[in-house]
Structure 1
Amino acid sequence: MQSIYALIQSKNTDMQKEEKFLTVSMENMYNLYVTLLNLIIAVQKLAEDQLLISQKKYLATEAEKNPNKKFINNEILQYLKENTLLQNITKERRLTDWDLEEDYVKLIYKEILESPVYEEYMKTEKSSFAEDKDLIIEIFKTIIAPNDKLYEYIEDNRLTWVDDLPLVNTLILKIFKKLKPEPPENYFTPKLFKDMDDKEFSRNLFRKTILNDEKFQEEIIGKTPNWDAERITEIDSILLKMAICEFHKFPSIPVKVTINEYLEIAKEYSTPKSSIFINGVLDKLVKDYTTNNSLNKSGRGLM
């Protein structure tokens, strides 16, 4: 979706370069995803180190000698910290070593310590999985994701990540929200593609959506007469074009599957009312396609 947006804006007509851009873009997004997870791990490590330092003070207080370890023992933080797959991917991709960017880790940790959600969480020493998960979701949503200094760091050091940041932040929140106790080791390290067929499907969808951009745009305008093209968000427009592409260019995908898929994506990545808008437009289009017998579906796609 992000790749299609970037290429439509650039008006690039070199398909080979565009497909290469798709691959690079997806790899960059994955790198950003892993880097942000590692930032969370670095915060846990800093918290643990500071507790140990406090305990070793010559004149340590009773609270420092026997600190509340609830945060550093947070179950979700432990899952991330102990994830060897995540560690291996970080090394293989040579991603940011937050030990070398400690100022940003300290900044995030300081904001966590000063937050009401942390203060409430630390009122007790015992916690449940649900409480641990809620804390990490809230910390990521209210402290890490909107952090201006972190944004500036990414902008200065990895400019290509800036456009991907909102999408990756949403993905991380989605993964945390769906997390269950004792997840498989690969839970936090999903593959970019399930298999070669999935990779080829992504390329074909990308290619065919780009090549038919103007045609699909006309179809959208035809079904939104009361809307100026400028009032339709870029993400909604792209999601509609991708759905139309699946309707026409992928015979084996059932119409209902396409509609449900893009409604879910809209709920996750676009505005609160986007799914309602997209559902209305797609419903009108499908009715027209059915009347005109222009839906190219066969086999499983007829379901």
Structure 2
Amino acid sequence: MQTLYSCTAADGSITREQALRSVENHLDQGRQLFIFLAHFLTEVARYAETDSRQKASKHLPTQSDLNVNTKIAGNDLLWRILELPSYQQAVKELKPELQLNMDWVRKLYTELTESEVYRAYIQKPLRDKKEEKSILEFIFTDLMLPNEDFVAYVEELFVHWDDDSEMMNLLMLNFFNKPHTYDFQHFISSEKMKYAKDLLLAVIDKEELCNEYIKSKLQNWDPERTALLDMILMRMGICEFLYFETIPPKVTINEYIDLAKEYSTPQSGHFVNGILDSIHKDFVRENKLHKVSFKKP
């Protein structure tokens, strides 16, 4: 969607090859952001050991200074992440530590240690798989993401944060559930990458055809007055109808309604829904759809 918007805004000056590179670059930026967030989170958890060393090395340490609880630094899930070969390779390649602001690591670690969730966690002598995951989720969803100053810090490093933040949240929560399934060298599966490129090229190549379908539904409404993003989303939907046989039309329509609501005008969700639904009905009546059904007989 973002690449198509850039292509259209550039009035066709971007070639198909440039558009493909743009998609690849954006996905790679998402990979870099995800790796940075994962690295930052692990550093917050591991800061317990740094805190313990610093307090114990004071000239006149108190009993509290000498007994900093470092349970979280040995978190089972934390070390499953740290020992992933693909994660280690990604950190070696991208060096997220160079972007790391240790003041922020220390701030969020301090907030963590002051929370009731953390106090409850360290009071339990044994390690529970569910609790090991929950405390890392707490750092990410309750300390990192809601902190506006932290988000502003991330935005300075990754200008596409606004576009990718929701996806990062979902990816991270899924990552906590199944870290062994993630390959940091191939952030997007080959199947998903093929889908993205195929859809991009279909929308570029079939722009005139898609516009004709859309214009027939505008009822004396000038296409030039239609929000550019709405036009792009509807072209994408039409191409999915016609050229992506494994995607159910209902899924296509719902996805583009959500995107329109999220990124376009307040009326866009209803507008995109009406146009795509009408075009879909025409395609069904004219037998232009040839979808693959995966329903069990």
- The interval holding the TM-score normalised by the smaller chain is 0.7 to 0.9
Q: Percent identity?
A: 23
- Partner of 2:251 in structure 1? 260
Change (3 A) 1:34 1:78: same
- Partner of 1:162, secondary structure, is coil
Change (3 A) 1:152 1:173: closer
Alpha-carbon distance in 2 for matches of 1:231, 1:135: 47
Which AA in structure 2 matches 1:246?
E
Query: How far does residue 50 in structure 1 lie from its aligned partner after superposition?
Result: 0.9
Residue 162 (str. 1) matches residue 162 (str. 2): no
Which AA in structure 2 matches 1:260?
V
TM-score when normalising by structure 2 = 0.72
- Partner of 1:248 in structure 2? 242
Which of 165, 168, 181 is residue 172 of structure 1 equivalent to?
Answer: 168
Change (3 A) 1:99 1:46: farther
TM-score when normalising by structure 1 = 0.71
Residue 35 (str. 1) matches residue 53 (str. 2): no
- Partner of 2:238, secondary structure, is helix
Alpha-carbon distance in 1 for matches of 2:43, 2:179: 22
Change (3 A) 1:13 1:144: same
Alpha-carbon distance in 2 for matches of 1:43, 1:207: 42
Alpha-carbon distance in 1 for matches of 2:217, 2:280: 11
| Matched-pair contact (CA < 8 Å) for 2:137–2:176 | no
In the alignment of these two chains, the number of paired residues is 287
**Equivalent residues in 2 for 1:64-103, closer than 5 Å:** 64-92=65-93, 94-98=94-98, 101-103=101-103
| Matched-pair contact (CA < 8 Å) for 1:38–1:98 | no
- Partner of 2:108 in structure 1? 108
Change (3 A) 1:292 1:268: closer
Alpha-carbon distance in 2 for matches of 1:265, 1:114: 42
- Partner of 1:13, secondary structure, is coil
**Equivalent residues in 2 for 1:16-27, closer than 5 Å:** 16-27=17-28
Alpha-carbon distance in 1 for matches of 2:146, 2:217: 36
Alpha-carbon distance in 2 for matches of 1:54, 1:99: 26
- Higher mean alpha-carbon deviation, 19-28 vs 262-271, is at 262-271
Alpha-carbon distance in 1 for matches of 2:127, 2:101: 31
- Partner of 1:14 in structure 2? 14
- Higher mean alpha-carbon deviation, 39-48 vs 62-71, is at 62-71
Query: How far does residue 172 in structure 1 lie from its aligned partner after superposition?
Result: 3.4
Q: Deviations over 1:15-50 (max 9, x none)?
A: 232222222222112111111111112212222211
Gaps of 5+ in 1: none
Alpha-carbon distance in 2 for matches of 1:9, 1:146: 33
- Look at both structures and tell me which one has the larger radius of gyration over its CA atoms: 2
**Equivalent residues in 2 for 1:115-264, closer than 5 Å:** 115=115, 117-119=117-119, 121-122=121-122, 124-126=124-126, 128-156=128-156, 158=157, 161-163=158-160, 165-179=161-175, 183=178, 185-187=180-182, 189=184, 191-195=186-190, 199-213=193-207, 216=210, 234=229, 240-250=234-244, 253-256=245-248, 259-260=250-251, 263=254
Which AA in structure 2 matches 1:73?
G
Query: How far does residue 242 in structure 1 lie from its aligned partner after superposition?
Result: 2.6
Which AA in structure 2 matches 1:31?
Q
Q: Deviations over 1:38-76 (max 9, x none)?
A: 111221222221123334556544444444334323333
